[in-house]
Amino acid sequence: MRRRGASGDAPRSTKPERDRHIPVLLSEVIESLAPEDNQLFIDGTFGAGGYTRAILRAANCRVIAFDRDITAVRAAAPMLAEFSDRLRLINKPFSDMEPSARAAEQSAADHAFVDGVVLDIGVSSMQLDQAERGFSFQADGPLDMRMSDAGESAADFVNTAEEETLANVIYTYGEEHKSRSIARAIVKARAEKPFARTLELADVVSRVFHGRKVDGRHPATRTFQALRIYVNDELGELASALHAAERILKPGGRLVVVTFHSLEDRIVKKFFNGRAGKESRGSRHLPEQSIKSERPSFQIFNGRPLTPSKGECEVNPRARSARLRAGLRTDAAPWPLDLDDLAVPQPEL
């Protein structure tokens, strides 16, 4: 499972490790996927394996799971042993699910072959709880935020980016209205000493707000969310994963997506509504003829997203912002991937 406090402000738990990772909306996910014997499913966000385990226990089916965090893959050894040839775990991002899953299923080189895909978007609770990963300001750690070892870290970005670029990223991905003031404070502070630790950055951001909470949350919440999304290209990954799922799902296959903040949910809503023919498309990148010729590639299960019950939120506070959207694949050809059409936010860099 993955997530949660998209912001890094999830309360830390004193419970044992195995009790902290509670799959969000688990019964609703399994009901939406409706696993049957001999079917094949993709869990694009394996995390601690909560959804995968439930799918494999619901029917005599198989799962190909993805996670770009090698820590999650290494921790999955007991589950891999338990389910043997029914589970395959691939250490890659879910945007890579199409070529990797096709390679794993050698008979699926040129056709749709998957019965269901589940995506649980964002950072995992395991990552948030590990101070050394640098996702959270609840405990001091290196300012990293990467879900894998590759690419630019949050420290790399905040220590080198132009002030305007910092402000644009914080505004676009954090929806933070004080983004320019925060960027200015970061640039001023790093001139004296480069940022290396999470609490150093949280303290600078907090001073912009004079230490006051914002909507009951730590003032650095939106800034940390923005940096994490930027460093991991989370919204671009999400758009690519939705498109990949559309390409590999059989007619009648099911796509289930759980999101945890508005930026994610808007993209998923836009994807399903567009693919179901519920809104007009006006991408400047596609000729009018291709727009008119595309048939709906999905039927939507739930017009309104499913949300956790009060009881689930009391047991698992991480679930409070979760939204589940799901759709049934039709026999129409997959649509082209267009980030503008999905309204994926892209800051000016």
pTM for this predicted structure = 0.86
DSSP 8-state class, residue 304: S
Inter-CA distances, 33 with 28, 30, 43, 301, Å: 9, 5, 11, 11
Rounded to an integer, the average pLDDT of 179-204 is 95
Residue carrying structure tokens 């790399």: 156
pLDDT at 40 over 50: yes
Segments of the chain assigned to CATH 3.40.50.150 = 17-125+234-329
Task: Look at residue 176 in the predicted model and tell me its pLDDT.
Answer: 94
Inter-CA distances, 170 with 160, 323, 345, Å: 15, 23, 12
Closest by CA to 170, choosing from 142, 138, 204, is 204
Average pLDDT over the chain reads: 85
CATH topology of domain 137-232: DNA polymerase; domain 1 (1.10.150)
pLDDT at 11 over 90: no
Segments of the chain assigned to CATH 1.10.150.170 = 137-232
Q: How far apart are CA 51 and CA 1, in angstroms?
A: 6
Task: Look at residue 2 in the predicted model and tell me its pLDDT.
Answer: 36
Task: Look at residue 10 in the predicted model and tell me its pLDDT.
Answer: 35
Query: Left (φ > 0), alpha (ψ -120 to 50) or beta: where does 47 sit?
Result: left
Rounded to an integer, the average pLDDT of 237-264 is 96
pLDDT at 130 over 50: no
Q: How far apart are CA 127 and CA 125, in angstroms?
A: 5
Task: Look at residue 127 in the predicted model and tell me its pLDDT.
Answer: 46
Q: What is the pLDDT of residues 328-349, one digit of tens each?
A: 999 999 999 988 889 899 888 7
> Quick one: tokens of 316?
């698992």
- For 17-125+234-329, give the CATH class: alpha beta
Q: How far apart are CA 209 and CA 323, in angstroms?
A: 30
Q: What is the pLDDT of residues 53-96, one digit of tens each?
A: 999 999 999 999 999 888 889 999 999 999 999 999 999 999 99
